[in-house]
């Protein structure tokens, strides 16, 4: 960048986004010897851990299994306080990584990319930000996040409200004062469920507006003791090995059995054990057939319904909190401390939008078909435009007239969940079909490792263009479409199908084949010298050295 004007920069690799994935991608490409730069829309790094600063925002992956694994020294240096860390701790960790590995000088914050256009004759991407910065790059890694575009509910009058209104995914940097306030929380997914217990004790009143209930189970958090820390440090190699291959990306012990191995009494005892297990272990340590055998899943749901009835003292509220038409896991389950208990407080109410839908938001509060309630603060815990939201808003124009926002209007088509035909040299790790529904960083690490390895391979073999062939993309998409119906996630309920966004095509947005299929297809691609035709060499202009990079 030195010696170049601020508005024109040539760089080998441009990373977009400085969240978990973008930070790792930047580290890896710099480490591999490429010149690189990152553009980030936020004023700081951290991605979701920068934007989601609502009270009690925290991991539901174990801190050390979510953290980076590329450096033993980093793993041993950073001491997590709890099994499931809070947002400030995660944000501090990601900033620590950025400084520890000297990445900050390569990151430009406050730069939202508004267009990324392929210049085919020069074999570069021309990337422009809202503030007018233009960067030309040979390779783009768009780590723009699957949960980075907050989704607001489709309700009349949102702008009319004169009190404070905040989306959990775009939380203000100055603390929101809840004490003594009348609060509405719209949404009961992971963010809303984390927020409620955190504020229920101090607000004058809080109403939870629930569209459909979700199976919410205890996080079972704990401090990381010195003994636990010593164990983590001593077992780094084994931890890395397990996390590098575990389908879920977690350390959780698998059940080792199908439900049919146990008697009904043994199953109840097993469910009690699962109820007390940490976070996602309720899925990854559950019976092997929990997500494929409807009968056993319904039995587990009945067990959970019993738990809700035993915790929530008002029977009507308890029944409203029990999902009637949803298997456990069909919707991304929140793992939270004290959610159901909050409804026993006299100042907490549940409003079922199935019974009394919202008519409108107005200057003073919310009107439902049952009447009007005044609020000081409305919180939108209504999730995100998952998977495709950020990429389709970024003005991506590829080869042969491809406009991503048009091309993906009926759902994304890609290869590996990070690249696409007609988008040469453009990667989007953590994008649609990227994650498998388990511990996110382990999936995105697989992708970033492969992408950065591929860039180094290209450099070493004289290739400068990577674009999956149409056939490779079709093979991947056939896998997605074939396996998606076998997934537990429900098109009716899950944001993994876009179900929370009105008008969004109900297409499955995870990788239903998991890490196994991802690795199988990547290995197959890289088994030939030119990656089955995905690699090619430069245009005449570029080969003649008319474009200087770096």
Which of 100, 112, 373, 537 is close enough to bind ligand FAD by CB under 6 A? 112
Q: DSSP label at 58?
A: B
By beta-carbon proximity to ligand FAD, the closer residue of 85 and 542 is 85
Distance (Å, whole) CA 516 – CA 78: 30
Rounded to the nearest angstrom, the gap between the alpha carbon of residue 517 and the centroid of all alpha carbons in its chain is 20
Distance (Å, whole) CA 45 – CA 469: 34
Which stretch in 38-46, 150-158, 313-321, 532-540 sits in contact with ligand FAD by CB under 6 A?
38-46
By beta-carbon proximity to ligand FAD, the closer residue of 425 and 444 is 444
Residue 59 in the binding site for ligand FAD (CB under 6 A): yes
Which of 11, 12, 42, 397 is close enough to bind ligand FAD by CB under 6 A? 42
Question: Cα-Cα-Cα-Cα dihedral of 474, 475, 479, 481, to 10°?
Answer: 20
The least CB distance from residue 148 to ligand FAD, in Å, is 4
Distance (Å, whole) CA 319 – CA 322: 5
Which stretch in 42-50, 74-82, 180-188, 401-409 sits in contact with ligand FAD by CB under 6 A?
42-50
Residue 19 in the binding site for ligand FAD (CB under 6 A): yes
The least CB distance from residue 2 to ligand FAD, in Å, is 23
Residue 506 and residue 499 in contact, taking contact as beta carbons nearer than 8 Å:
yes
Rounded to the nearest angstrom, the gap between the alpha carbon of residue 218 and the centroid of all alpha carbons in its chain is 21
Count residues near ligand FAD (CB under 6 A): 36
* Ranges of H-type helices in 388-513: 389-392, 404-407, 440-461, 470-483
The least CB distance from residue 368 to ligand FAD, in Å, is 27
Residue 57 in the binding site for ligand FAD (CB under 6 A): yes
Phi-psi region of 541 (alpha: psi -120 to 50; beta: other; left: phi over 0): alpha
Residue 40 in the binding site for ligand FAD (CB under 6 A): yes
What Rg value do the Cα atoms of the chain yield, rounded?
24
Phi-psi region of 157 (alpha: psi -120 to 50; beta: other; left: phi over 0): left
Which of 11, 13, 18, 239 is close enough to bind ligand FAD by CB under 6 A? 18
By beta-carbon proximity to ligand FAD, the closer residue of 284 and 444 is 444
Residue 147 in the binding site for ligand FAD (CB under 6 A): yes
The sign of the dihedral angle between the CA atoms of 430, 431, 437, 443 is negative
Which of 16, 140, 296, 336 is close enough to bind ligand FAD by CB under 6 A? 16
The least CB distance from residue 64 to ligand FAD, in Å, is 12
By beta-carbon proximity to ligand FAD, the closer residue of 509 and 547 is 509
The least CB distance from residue 234 to ligand FAD, in Å, is 25
What is the DSSP code string of 82-100?
A: BSS-BHHHHHHHHHHHHHH
Residue 41 in the binding site for ligand FAD (CB under 6 A): yes
Residue 351 and residue 186 in contact, taking contact as beta carbons nearer than 8 Å:
no
User: CB-based burial of residue 357 (10 Å sphere; 0-12 exposed, 13-18 middle, 19+ buried)?
Assistant: middle
The least CB distance from residue 434 to ligand FAD, in Å, is 8
Residues 335-364 that bind ligand FAD (CB under 6 A): none
By beta-carbon proximity to ligand FAD, the closer residue of 465 and 511 is 511
Residue 148 in the binding site for ligand FAD (CB under 6 A): yes
Residue 137 in the binding site for ligand FAD (CB under 6 A): no
Residue 39 in the binding site for ligand FAD (CB under 6 A): yes
Residue 439 in the binding site for ligand FAD (CB under 6 A): yes
Q: DSSP label at 133?
A: -
Contact mark string toward ligand FAD, 239..268, x via CB under 6 A? ------------------------------
Parallel/antiparallel/unpaired status of strands 113-119 and 107-108: unpaired
By beta-carbon proximity to ligand FAD, the closer residue of 282 and 320 is 282
3-state secondary structure 412-447: CCCECCCECCCCCCEECCCCCCCCCCCCHHHHHHHH
Buried b (16+ CB within 10 A) or exposed e, 424-461: bbbbbbbbbbbbbbbbbbbbbbbbbbbbbebbbebeee
Residue 191 in the binding site for ligand FAD (CB under 6 A): yes
Residue 48 in the binding site for ligand FAD (CB under 6 A): yes
Which of 186, 390, 396, 458 is close enough to bind ligand FAD by CB under 6 A? 390
3-state secondary structure 314-379: CHHHHHHHCCCCCCCCCCCCCECCCHHHHCCCCCEEEEECCCCCEEEECCCEEEECCEEEECCEEE
Distance (Å, whole) CA 333 – CA 279: 10
Which of 11, 20, 193, 458 is close enough to bind ligand FAD by CB under 6 A? 20
The least CB distance from residue 24 to ligand FAD, in Å, is 8
Residue recorded with tokens 């890289």: 526
Residue 113 in the binding site for ligand FAD (CB under 6 A): yes
Which stretch in 59-67, 176-184, 261-269, 540-548 sits in contact with ligand FAD by CB under 6 A?
59-67
The least CB distance from residue 464 to ligand FAD, in Å, is 25
Which stretch in 140-148, 197-205, 336-344, 413-421 sits in contact with ligand FAD by CB under 6 A?
140-148
What is the DSSP code string of 202-245?
A: TSSEEEEEESS----B-----B--HHHHHHHHHTHHHHHHHHHH
Which of 106, 127, 135, 143 is close enough to bind ligand FAD by CB under 6 A? 143
Separate counts of helices (H) and strands (E) for the chain: 19, 18
Residue 417 in the binding site for ligand FAD (CB under 6 A): no
Residues 440-479 that bind ligand FAD (CB under 6 A): 440, 444
First to last CA, the chain: 8
Distance (Å, whole) CA 69 – CA 92: 17
Residue 98 in the binding site for ligand FAD (CB under 6 A): no
Which stretch in 45-53, 102-110, 324-332, 514-522 sits in contact with ligand FAD by CB under 6 A?
45-53
Provide the binding-site residues for ligand FAD, judged by CB under 6 A.
16-22, 39-42, 47-48, 50, 52, 57, 59-61, 66, 112-113, 143-148, 169, 191, 390, 394, 430, 439-440, 444
């Amino acid at each position: 960048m030195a010696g170049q004007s601020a508005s024109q920069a040539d760089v080998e690799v441009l990373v977009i986004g400085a969240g978990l994935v973008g930070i790792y991608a930047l580290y890896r490409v710099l480490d591999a010897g490429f010149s690189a730069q990152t553009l980030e829309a936020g004023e700081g790094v951290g991605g979701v851990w920068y934007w989601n600063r609502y009270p009690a925002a925290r991991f539901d992956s174990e801190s050390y299994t979510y953290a980076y694994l590329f450096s033993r020294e980093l793993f041993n240096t950073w001491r997590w306080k709890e099994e499931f860390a809070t947002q400030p701790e995660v944000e501090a960790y990601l900033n620590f990584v950025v400084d520890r590995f000297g990445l900050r000088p390569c990151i430009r914050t406050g730069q939202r990319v508004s267009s990324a256009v392929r210049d085919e004759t020069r074999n570069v991407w021309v990337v422009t930000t809202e503030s007018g910065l233009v960067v030309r790059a040979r390779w783009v890694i768009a780590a723009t996040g699957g949960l980075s575009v907050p989704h607001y509910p489709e309700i009349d009058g949102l702008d009319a409200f004169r009190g404070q209104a905040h989306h959990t995914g775009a939380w203000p940097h100055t603390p929101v004062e809840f004490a003594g306030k009348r609060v509405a929380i719209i949404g009961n997914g992971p963010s809303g469920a984390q927020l409620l217990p955190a504020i229920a004790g101090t607000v004058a009143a809080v109403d939870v507006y629930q569209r459909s209930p979700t199976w919410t189970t205890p996080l079972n958090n704990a401090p990381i003791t010195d003994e636990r820390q010593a164990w983590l440090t001593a077992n780094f190699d084994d931890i890395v090995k397990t996390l590098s291959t575990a389908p879920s990306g977690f350390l959780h012990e698998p059940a080792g059995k199908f439900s049919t191995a146990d008697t009904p009494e043994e199953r109840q005892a097993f469910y009690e054990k699962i109820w007390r297990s940490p976070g996602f272990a309720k899925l990854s340590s559950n019976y092997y057939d929990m997500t494929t055998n409807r009968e056993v899943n319904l039995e587990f749901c009945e067990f959970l319904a019993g738990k809700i009835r035993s915790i929530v003292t008002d029977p009507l509220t308890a029944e409203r909190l029990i999902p009637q038409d949803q298997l456990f896991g069909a919707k991304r389950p929140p793992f939270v401390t004290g959610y159901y208990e909050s409804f026993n407080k006299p100042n907490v109410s549940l409003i079922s939008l199935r019974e009394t839908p919202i008519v409108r938001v107005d200057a003073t509060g919310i009107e439902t078909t049952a009447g009007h309630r005044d609020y000081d603060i409305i919180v939108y815990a209504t999730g995100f435009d998952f998977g495709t939201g950020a990429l389709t808003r970024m003005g991506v124009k590829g080869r042969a007239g491809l406009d991503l926002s048009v091309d993906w209007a009926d759902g994304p088509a890609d290869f590996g969940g990070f690249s696409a035909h007609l988008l040469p040299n453009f990667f989007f790790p953590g994008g649609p079909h990227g994650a498998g529904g388990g511990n996110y960083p382990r999936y995105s690490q697989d992708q970033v490792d492969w992408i950065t390895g591929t860039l180094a391979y290209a450099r070493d073999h004289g290739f400068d263009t990577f674009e999956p062939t149409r056939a490779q993309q079709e093979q991947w998409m056939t896998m997605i479409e074939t396996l998606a119906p076998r997934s537990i996630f429900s098109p009716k309920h899950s944001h993994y199908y876009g179900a929370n966004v009105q008008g969004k095509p109900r297409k499955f947005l995870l990788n239903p084949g998991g890490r196994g299929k991802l690795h199988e297809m990547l290995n197959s691609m890289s088994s030939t010298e030119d990656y089955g035709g995905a690699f090619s060499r430069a245009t005449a202009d570029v080969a003649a050295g008319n474009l200087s990079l770096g």
